[in-house]
A and B are shown apart, each in its own frame.
Chain A
Amino acid sequence: MWSRLQLSKWFDERLSTRAIRVALFDRHIPKSSPLVEWIYTLGSVLLFFFILQAVTGMMLAMNYVASPDHAYDAARYISTRAPMGQIIRGLHSWGASAMVVVIGAHMLTTFLSGSYKYPRESTWISGVVLFLIVMLFGFTGYLLPWNQKSYWATVVGTNIAGSTPIIGEYIVRFFRGGSEVGPQTLTRFYAMHVLMLPAALIAFVSVHLFMVVRQGISAPPKRHPEYGRHGINAQLGIDPGVGVGTQIEIEDQRKRSVDEYHHEKEVGESFYPFYLAKDAVAVLLALAVLALLVWKFPAEIGEIADPASTSYNPRPDWYFLFLFQALKYFPGSMEAVAAVMLPGLALLILVTVPFFDRRMRQHPLDRPIATGIAFSVLAGVIALTVIGAESPLLNPYVPELPTVAEGHRLFHTLNCAYCHAVNGRGSKIGPDLMLDPLKHDKAWMVSHLERPGEVVAPGHRTAMTGLLPDESADLFDYINELQGGGPYSEKASRLFYRNCGKCHIVAGHGGTKGPDLSAIGLVRSVSFIHRYIEDPKTLFSLTKMPPFLQPEGKLTHAEIEDIARFLAHQRTPTAAKN
């Protein structure tokens, strides 16, 4: 066996690897304070998140199909059944958010420390391009689970891009691959997300890192007020009218700054291990935070995208929310200003700032205007995001139980509606699954669906082939949900009138402060009603109804379920109302 030393010598003789190692790892880093050194780990954390996204993304692609008829099922398969799938999907989903946060922080600190100035202008511009690529990653990746959230966010997002003057319509068609968000949009977004954008990101990350290593990482900013408008020349007694702000003065500042940098670099320590150790600890902390988020707030799967839905309230992912909210303050004719022109202007400023802000003042306190603008923009984006997040959801949503959702899906794929209606919509050959009371229990129904010819009483007919046991159980749960969640107890109506009757009418009795609930079972599911009674504000923030679940209210979980089932069975619209 060769020792490590022999092996590195073997490679060094052929490829001069020692020089590479020295350039990458033994390079000296300018000395700074511990706080600044921790801030400088943001770039490494970002690189780590990129690698994490790449690795988890490859795993997700293994169980994914970019087609509307399977994309949602595939995403749900990953979340619910693939071993560790939910964790990998959670890491990818939270990793995307984390990447946006860290890239924002990285840009902000780079801006505040004036590191975009000479000689690192091109490094900064490649960083701005990387920021755009990351945002495009977020936009295209959001659609892939093909649920209501992702579908409608994409509809709205592409429409925002469509408000661009003159070429807007073409941009929309370019992204959608047609006039509507549909199968072609999904394949386009998938190709961008997993092929084009990664290629672009790898190219720009390489360029970015090459420049960082080649030029050396910027030194932490020092106070140099004399680099200002009435700076060195005035102190040196030169007539302020002659050299101030001229190329000569700026070149002089650059030379001083470079000299200072080289000095600081000489007294600094090597990248490995003195700085890389901090980077590694920061990466470990970042992963720990991410793991906590994945554990406490698992990635949602939601409901399958429904282009025909009129009740869904679209929201973009949080990092586009500020833009979404800003649009509310502009009248229709001015929409392009907020949607395209302001963001475009902001990008233009970011790209050009190294060329009009050329003095070598780097410390944020030496540049009060630049620092002030940076913090104002940050405050504005945060404020818009918070306001956008708090604006009431007009269409509350309660996730269906997984088995109910699966049964719902089966109902469609098996074309049950050829024979069965739901709430009067559909064929009348078989019983209406919502309005006709279910005459059989779960065991009977499950065996009926699995072995239709054997269990069904003579005279009954079903066109179905045998279902798998899981499938028939899921279908039963869906039918049961349609049926109002099962029987309620004798006490249910008394519980209802005692607790709710002051405000709500059912079957002609009750108060009129709240809505009449005589037909609530036709429009709301039992799980929705249950959740609403527990704490209405989680579903409709403007309601005056108080929460009823203990300890805030006085009902137990079982009592609320009883009332919810009772209400889900109320399906008689009040005929004549004044």
Chain B
Amino acid sequence: MPDGNRAQLAVSEAGEVIENEPRRRFLARLFWGAMGIVSAGIAAPILSYLIAPLLGPGESKDWVRLGKVEDLPLNVPQRIEVARRVAEGWVTEDSAVTAWVVRAPDKIYVFDPHCTHLGCAYRWIEEAKQFFCPCHAGVFSLTGKVVSGPPPRPLDVYAYEVREGALYVVPTPTKQVV
């Protein structure tokens, strides 16, 4: 048996004699194999926990009632804020849904209240009859079109429906189809 081993002596980079080469190779594989299983075993639950927000349900598609259409003045934007119960993680609370609503003669515009440039909250300036964004001076018209400034596209809108004279919206911003 000693002779059998002697035949398998190997030499390392540095010129040292490495004994028991097959045993060394086996144990090295055992080490990397075991550590591989351990790492994979821990990484599996950790990764699914980490990426869960990517796989879960997206934004709510529930309809929210904003009020009666007949209460909206013609062509004067109204900032409407209503509460709805929202469950997120371990917290369920009444959170605000905000929209700028413009009742035009032929249709209703329900705008997401954030500028399409960088998401600042814009406001309606009655004297100018335009929406102004305070961050980088973006200006939008009554129908949400970009008048001047850096915004890349018209104001985003919410899908809406009129049921029995009441205005319902899905408060998820979508790009306006022009």
Q: Which of chain B's residues has its CB closest to A276's CB?
A: B31
Please provide the chain B residues from 30 to 49 with a CB less than 8 Å away from any CB of chain A in the complex. 30-31, 33-35, 37-38, 41-42, 45-46, 48-49
Known: A55-B42, A83-B48. A77 touches B94 (CB 8 A): no
The SS class assigned to the A binding surface is helix
B91 at the interface (CB under 8 A from A): yes
A128 at the interface (CB under 8 A from B): no
Q: Which residues of B contact A272 (CB under 8 A)?
A: 28, 31
| Contact-size category for A | 35 or more
| Contact-size category for B | 20 to 34
Known: A76-B90, A77-B89. A281 touches B49 (CB 8 A): no
Please provide the chain B residues from 16 to 69 with a CB less than 8 Å away from any CB of chain A in the complex. 24, 27-28, 30-31, 33-35, 37-38, 41-42, 45-46, 48-50, 52, 55
CB B138 to nearest CB in A, in angstroms, measures 35
Q: Which residues of A contact B91 (CB under 8 A)?
A: 70, 73
- Report Cα–Cα, A281/B30, bound state, in Å: 8
CB B82 to nearest CB in A, in angstroms, measures 11
Contact indicator A59/B50 (Cβ below 8 Å)? yes
- Report Cα–Cα, A570/B87, bound state, in Å: 38
Query: Which listed residue, B27, B33, B52, touches A274 by the CB 8 Å rule?
Result: B27
- Report Cα–Cα, A507/B81, bound state, in Å: 57
Contact indicator A273/B27 (Cβ below 8 Å)? yes
Interface flags for B122-165 (1: CB within 8 Å of A; 0: not) read: 00000000000000000000000000000000000000000000
Query: Which listed residue, A74, A277, A287, touches B42 by the CB 8 Å rule?
Result: A287
A574 at the interface (CB under 8 A from B): no
Contact indicator B92/A471 (Cβ below 8 Å)? yes
A468 at the interface (CB under 8 A from B): yes
B121 at the interface (CB under 8 A from A): no
Please provide the chain A residues from 544 to 564 with a CB less than 8 Å away from any CB of chain B in the complex. none
CB A79 to nearest CB in B, in angstroms, measures 11
Please provide the chain A residues from 62 to 111 with a CB less than 8 Å away from any CB of chain B in the complex. 63, 70, 73-74, 76-77, 82-85, 87-88, 91
Q: Which of chain A's residues has its CB closest to B85's CB?
A: A468
A487 at the interface (CB under 8 A from B): no
A467 at the interface (CB under 8 A from B): yes
Known: A277-B30, A277-B31, A283-B38. 7 other contacts (CB 8 A): A55-B42, A83-B48, A85-B49, A273-B27, A276-B31, A280-B30, A465-B85
By a beta-carbon cutoff of 8 Å, the part of chain A in contact with chain B is 48, 52, 55-56, 59, 63, 70, 73-74, 76-77, 82-85, 87-88, 91, 272-274, 276-277, 279-281, 283-284, 287, 291, 465-468, 470-471
Nearest 6 Cβ contacts at the A-B interface: A77-B90, A280-B34, A277-B27, A273-B28, A73-B90, A84-B45
Instruction: List, sorted by A's number, 11 A–B pairs whose CB atoms are closer than 8 Å.
Output: A48-B38, A55-B42, A55-B46, A70-B91, A274-B24, A277-B27, A277-B28, A468-B87, A468-B92, A471-B85, A471-B87
